Chain A
Amino acid sequence: MYSKERSSSFFATTVEWLAAAWLVLAALPAFGQLQIEIVDGVEGALPVAVVPFDVSAAQIPPESPVHEVIAADLRRSGLFAPLGVEEMIDRPTRPADVRFGAWRLLETDYLVLGRFVPAGDGIGGELQYHLVAVHSGRTLFSRAIPAGPGEFRLRAHQIADAVYEELTGTPGAFATRIAYVQVTGIGTDDERFELIVADSDGHNPQTIVRHSQPILSPSWAPDGRRLAYVSFATGRSNIVVQDIYTGQRETVSSDRGINGAPSFSPDGTELAMGLSRSGTPEIWVKNLESGRMDRLTDHWSINTEPAWSRDGRHLYFTSDRAGRPQIYRVRRDGRNVERITTEGEYNSRVSVDPYTGHLAMVHGNGADFRIATLDTETGRLRVLSDGRMDESPSFAPNGSMILYATREGERGVLAAVSADGRFRQRLVVSDGDVREPAWSPMIR
């Protein structure tokens, strides 16, 4: 039993390989972690209690209390209101130990319980966890997940994902990552641009690349291990694809003019870009295996910021061919360019909701630039943010939240808003500006 668990918890499957790789990014710890502050809550958030897990059997204690990571994830979603530990009357770790009457008095709807059960050597083992409905007294699920030293935060995020999915019907996106650009020493000789990858809760920031010249537009490959971005390391814009685990880098476009706005196709084999090699920025697609280049647009205006439709058959992009920037859509074969946005004088930088296919974009109307969503079926545009210079929207892979860049005074910070606009939070780093967020795909 023990050896079987060991072999299944290490390298046996891609999931486990990625989990192991999670710990060993080819990167340096970044200075200053994002702190997440919830701006406004949601009426009617679901009351849950994440009871402290019993991890006393772990010889090496978890790096953070498991229940705290789960509760923080659920709270950040805006859909749950976790009960404070100090208010808990009891610490059950198994459904059989739950005294339902007492929890009903606390008006808690659901309980998340669990404990660590060691394997033979006492170092590895598994987290057994349960979701219990208080009013019916039913156990909604009982599961186990392998957990070893250094893995507890990831496992806690995965447990939060399971709880979220069970109670909302949508997969959770807590066990994912975010990439962003942090700039320090702004305006000094020590100005530094860093591309950072952190867990979705801002924890564990790792610097993937650092340079005195600008870095922008990070874009994840669907495998969650490659990042494309724009680097000015040579003094000009180049597009680089980097493996975040091995650190291996490849320059995929360094033509004359602008090499910008990389975006991976849904199958990860192609990269769309905005390149001005022909004189003005046009949408190009490069096949990363064969190197073949296809040009999708041919217009004297600015054409950039391509974003793939979910089925890979269309690309949305920004063009000012009608005078001001608006969103257009073109077929992958370069035919049928059609205008998508009609409301507002400035619309740019689409992010496609991986769940519904709807769009988020930068929406400018007069003085302010805000994040808006566009329902591609009804054509309804909805402004979700309230900043003056909000930009770079990026959907969570489950479509629940949109991460974006905003300003607080002269400072660049990140913020997130739920896709329905009801819940907002800000992500602040202790030092410098943060910008250009990109939420990773699901890491499976």
Chain B
Amino acid sequence: MKPAVRLMMALVLALVLAACARETRDEVPDEPMPEDSTTQPTDPVETSRVDPADHADSRNLDNPDSLLSQREIYFEFDRSNVQQQYLPIIRAHAEYLRANPTARVLLEGHADERGSREYNLGLGERRGNAVLDLMLAEGASRGQIEVVSYGEERPVCRQSSEACWERNRRVEIVYTAR
């Protein structure tokens, strides 16, 4: 991809992402503010509780309540554009990378089994790059992220059905350093 095109795409995606970020916040107004827990000194457990929305905290990588525990981005057939619903996940990981400069991720791009294997390698890489561009637009640095494509070689589901294929068309966010 030409650098100019890439930059333009990143800018557009950043705008979309910003818009989406606002929406997400509106949708979860009941989320407890971090201040709430710290203003309850009587309970030591409460004070050490992790705020799932704190995307700088490495404990949230394993916290099922946090977006940081979600590491899969799914795609439509033969497409590599990131769908709206996955933008908050990508943003959370980008925030984590921004807050933790020594953290490193590998973006593993995958495709379903249809079509030829080498083309699918290209498709897997393009999906990885789409996630990469969004993370960069959100402030992660290039040196923290690597993209590798496995094409259709590493499926998570092995039946030949749409239900299975849609699970295989994915980018996995793998932390190589937290």
**Residues of A at under 8 Å CB distance from B?**
186-187, 214, 216-217, 232, 235-237, 257-258, 260-261, 274, 276, 279-281, 300, 302, 304-305, 318, 320, 324-325, 346, 348-349, 362, 364, 369, 388-389, 391-392, 407, 410, 436
What's the minimum C-beta distance from A230 to chain B, rounded to whole angstroms? Answer: 8
Question: Which of chain B's residues have a CB closer than 8 A to the CB of A302?
Answer: 119, 122-123, 126
B117 at the interface (CB under 8 A from A): yes
The answer to whether B149 touches A362, judged by C-beta atoms less than 8 angstroms apart, is no
- Given known A214-B154, A300-B2, A300-B5, contact A318–B159 (CB-CB < 8 A): no
Q: How far is the CB of A290 from chain B (nearest CB, A)?
A: 26
Q: Are B122's CB and A186's CB within 8 A?
A: no
> Of B1, B119, B121, B154, which one neighbours A325 at CB under 8 angstroms?
B119
Query: Is B48 part of the binding interface, using a Cβ–Cβ cutoff of 8 Å?
Result: no
- List B contacts of A346 (CB < 8 A): 78, 115
Whether B102 is near chain A, meaning CB under 8 Å from some CB there, is no
Across the interface, A279 reaches (CB within 8 A) one of B1, B115, B160, namely B1
Contact B115 A304 (CB under 8 A): no
Whether B119 contacts A304 by the Cβ 8 Å rule is yes
B103-126, CB under 8 A of A: which get 1 and which 0? 000000000011111110111011
Please report B residues at the A interface, Cβ cutoff 8 Å.
1-2, 5-6, 78, 113-119, 121-123, 125-126, 147-150, 153-154, 158-160
Residue of B nearest to A362 (CB): B116
What CA separation (Å) do A235 and B159 show in the bound complex?
Answer: 25
Instruction: Contact check, A274 vs B118: say whether CB atoms are below 8 A apart.
Output: yes
Known: A257-B147, A280-B126, A304-B122. 20 other contacts (CB 8 A): A187-B158, A214-B153, A216-B118, A216-B153, A217-B117, A232-B150, A237-B149, A258-B149, A261-B118, A280-B1, A280-B125, A281-B122, A281-B125, A302-B126, A304-B121, A320-B119, A349-B116, A362-B116, A369-B114, A389-B113
List of B residues within 8 angstroms of A392 by Cβ: 116-117
Q: How far is the CA of A410 from the CA of B164 in the complex (A)?
A: 12
Q: Which residue in chain A gives the minimum CB-CB distance to B113? A: A389
Inter-subunit contact A305/B160 (CB<8 Å): no
Q: A383–B79 Cα gap in the complex (Å)?
A: 26
Minimum distance in angstroms from B166 CB to a CB of chain A:
15
CB-contact partner of A304 in B1, B5, B118, B150, under 8 A: B118
- A260–B115 contact, CB under 8 A? no
Complex contact B114–A300 (CB within 8 A):
no
A-B contact pairs, 9 of them (CB 8 A): A214-B153, A257-B147, A258-B121, A260-B118, A274-B122, A300-B1, A324-B78, A348-B118, A392-B116
Task: Provide the residues of chain A in CB contact with B118, threshold 8 Å.
Answer: 216-217, 260-261, 274, 304-305, 318, 348-349
Cα(A388)–Cα(B165), bound, Å: 14
Contacting residues, chain B, for A410 (C-beta < 8 A): 158-160
A304 to B6, CA, bound (A): 20
Q: Does B115 contact A391, Cβ atoms closer than 8 Å?
A: yes
Q: Give every chain A residue within 8 A of B113 (Cβ-Cβ).
A: 389
Return A390 CB to nearest CB of chain B, in Å: 10
Considering only CB atoms, which chain A residue lies closest to B117 in the complex? A216
Residues on A with C-beta less than 8 A from B117 are 216-217, 391-392, 436
B80: shortest Cβ distance to chain A, in Å? Answer: 10
Min CB distance B115 to A, Å, is 6
Q: A216-B153, A258-B125 are in contact. Are A348 and B116 (CB under 8 A)?
A: yes
A367, closest chain B residue (CB)? B114
Minimum CB–CB distance for B7 against chain A, Å: 12
Closest Cβ of chain A to B53, distance in Å, is 33
Q: Which residue of B lies closest to A274 (CB)?
A: B118
Bound complex: CA A63 to CA B115 (Å): 41
How far, in angstroms, from A187 to B160 measured CA to CA in the complex?
Answer: 15
Chain B residues, Cβ within 8 Å of A362: 115-116
Q: Say whether A407 contacts B1, CB under 8 Å.
A: no
**Complex-state Cα separation, A286 to B125, whole angstroms:** 22
Cα–Cα, bound, A392→B32 (Å): 55
Please, which residues of chain A bring their CB within 8 A of the CB of B154? 214
Most buried by B among A261, A274, A302, A389: A302
Q: B128: nearest residue on chain A (CB-CB)?
A: A257
| Closest B residue by C-beta to A280 | B1
Q: A232-B150, A407-B160 are in contact. Are A364 and B121 (CB under 8 A)?
A: no
Shortest 7 CB-CB distances between A and B: which pairs? A302-B122, A214-B153, A349-B116, A300-B1, A348-B116, A261-B118, A281-B122
| Chain A minimum-CB-distance residue to B5 | A300
Q: Are B153 and A232 in contact (CB under 8 A)?
A: yes
Q: Which of B5, B116, B154 has the most CB of A within 10 A?
A: B116
CB closest chain-A residue, reference B1: A300
Give CA–CA (A279, B132) in the complex, Å: 12
**Residue among B115, B123, B159 with max Cβ neighbours from chain A (10 Å):** B115
Nearest B residue to A345, CB-CB: B78
When distances are taken between beta carbons in the complex, the residues of chain B under 8 Å from A320 are 119
Are B119 and A389 interface neighbours, CB within 8 A?
no
Q: Is the CB of B160 within 8 A of A389?
A: yes
- If A410-B158, A436-B117 touch, does A214 touch B1 (CB 8 Å cutoff)? no
In the bound complex, CA of A235 to CA of B148 (Å): 9
Min CB distance B76 to A, Å, is 13
A212 to B22 CA separation, bound complex (whole angstroms): 45
What is the distance, in angstroms, from B165's C-beta to the closest C-beta of chain A?
A: 11
Of B116, B125, B153, which one neighbours A276 at CB under 8 angstroms? B125
Q: How far is the CA of A236 from the CA of B147 in the complex (A)?
A: 10
Interfacial chain B residues near A407, Cβ < 8 Å = 160
Q: How far is the CA of A225 from the CA of B6 in the complex (A)?
A: 43
